[in-house]
Amino acid sequence: MQNVPSNWFMEFVTPDTIQQFAVKDILYYGKSQYQKVEMIETVAFGKCLILDGKIQSCEGDEFIYHEALVQPAMTLHPNPETVFIAGGGEGATLREVLSHNTVKKVVMVDIDSEVIDLCKKYLPNHHQGSFDDPRVELLHMDAKKYLEETDLKFDVVIIDLPEPIEGGPCYLLYTQKFYEMLKTKMADTSVFALQSGATIIGITEVYLAINNTLKTAFPVSIPYEATVPAFGGPWGFTLNSTKLDPRELSQEEIDRRIAARVTNTLRFYDGHTHQGLFYIPKYLRDMLAKETTIITEDNPVFVPGI
């Protein structure tokens, strides 16, 4: 057994499921004002940000998560100039947004400035200098509060937050009321994308409730999936708008827009990927069709803890 790695990151994906990744190095551990923060380097996925014991993203497969979260929304918009990001401390969501040369202004609100400072230091492959881009306004405050108070409207909104956890602050950003308010910060052609929870069979409760709630607020609300290996299973996303539907764009039009606008090399997303993205398996469609939960402040949903 001397070939078995000595050090392992251990995460309870659910109360009944553990994933472990061999760890080469622990780059940082500490507590910010809001959460336990760790930076580790895994053998399988490179450097990873861990918040409160949960993997947020890893160098090795973060491109799947971040391109899946950002690129469909950005590409769907005919000319995204103003973008709002909630969360996304690693700077990779920002990187994907800034890769569109149409963008003139990004407001990114992440409550935890310590996490961002640590990501700046330890995860250069994530942010790739995005925080220094002059188009970026970075604020450390509650994202909900910012939106309530701003007069701005945004072409694209990306919500890149942890799943709702009992006792955590994020859950208020998953309610019907929040989505209704958010709509007032968007134009008719605006697009809003978010990660909407694990679609791992057996623990889809949060995913289903979020998507059912989004449907009540947005005329177009299209769930899609991507599998991010470090998350331990398939992951859900949702693209929302008043009238733009991602399924109406052809493969050629997507590739044309990418060629015209995107200054990065994309690894996950292109016109071909886009075509397949919005076909989700029958069992998820069936579960979504049956879902009745609408998330409100009085009726929140939380991921299972122990």
Only one of the segments 87-95, 136-144, 178-186, 231-239 lies at the binding site for its own copies (rule: CB under 8 A); that segment is: 231-239
In angstroms, the CA 75 to CA 254 distance is 7
Using CB under 8 A, pick the residue from 43, 152, 259, 260 that binds its own copies: 43
User: With respect to its own copies, which residue has the nearer C-beta, 27 or 172?
Assistant: 27
First to last CA, the chain: 32
Quick check: 169 binds its own copies (CB under 8 A)? no
Looking at 48-56, 114-122, 179-187, 212-220, which segment touches its own copies (CB under 8 A)?
A: 48-56
Q: Is 8 in the site for its own copies (CB under 8 A)?
A: yes
Judged by CB under 8 A, which of 29, 101, 141, 219 binds its own copies? 29
Rounded to the nearest whole angstrom, what is the least distance from the CB of residue 155 to its own copies in the complex?
A: 25
**Angstrom distances, CA of residue 291 to CA of 73, 87, 231:** 25, 27, 24
CA 133, 82, 87, 94 torsion: positive or negative?
Answer: negative
Minimum distance, C-beta of residue 289 to its own copies, in the bound complex (Å): 12
Site for its own copies in 193-212 (CB under 8 A): 200-202
Site for its own copies in 50-79 (CB under 8 A): 50, 52-54, 60-61, 63-64
Give whichever of 63 and 179 is closer to its own copies, judged by the CB atom. Answer: 63
User: What distance in Å separates the CA atoms of residue 135 and residue 126, rounded to the nearest whole number?
Assistant: 18
Enumerate the β-bridge partners of residue 239: 193, 222
For the chain, state the CA radius of gyration: 18
Q: How far is the CB of 129 from its own copies (least distance, A)?
A: 23
Tell me how far, at minimum, the Cβ of 66 lies from its own copies, in Å.
Answer: 13
Q: What is the dihedral of CA 241, 88, 300, 234, to 10 degrees?
A: 80
Verify binding: residue 16, its own copies, rule CB under 8 A.
Answer: yes
| The pairing of beta strand 186-198 with beta strand 154-160 | parallel
Q: How far is it, in rounded angstroms, from Cα 170 to Cα 301? A: 11
Say how many CA atoms lie within 13 Å of 292 toward its Cβ.
0
Sole binder of its own copies in the list 32, 189, 227, 293 (CB under 8 A) = 227
Please tell me which residue in 160, 255, 270, 298 is annotated as part of the active site.
160
- In the residue annotation, 52 being an active-site residue is answered as no
- Residue 288 sits in the site that holds its own copies (CB under 8 A): no
Least gap, CB of 154 to its own copies (angstroms): 27
**Angle, CA of 154, 240 and 131, to the nearest 5°:** 45
Q: Is 30 in the site for its own copies (CB under 8 A)?
A: no
| Distance between CA atoms of residues 167 and 272, nearest Å | 41
Q: What are the residue numbers of the active site?
A: 160
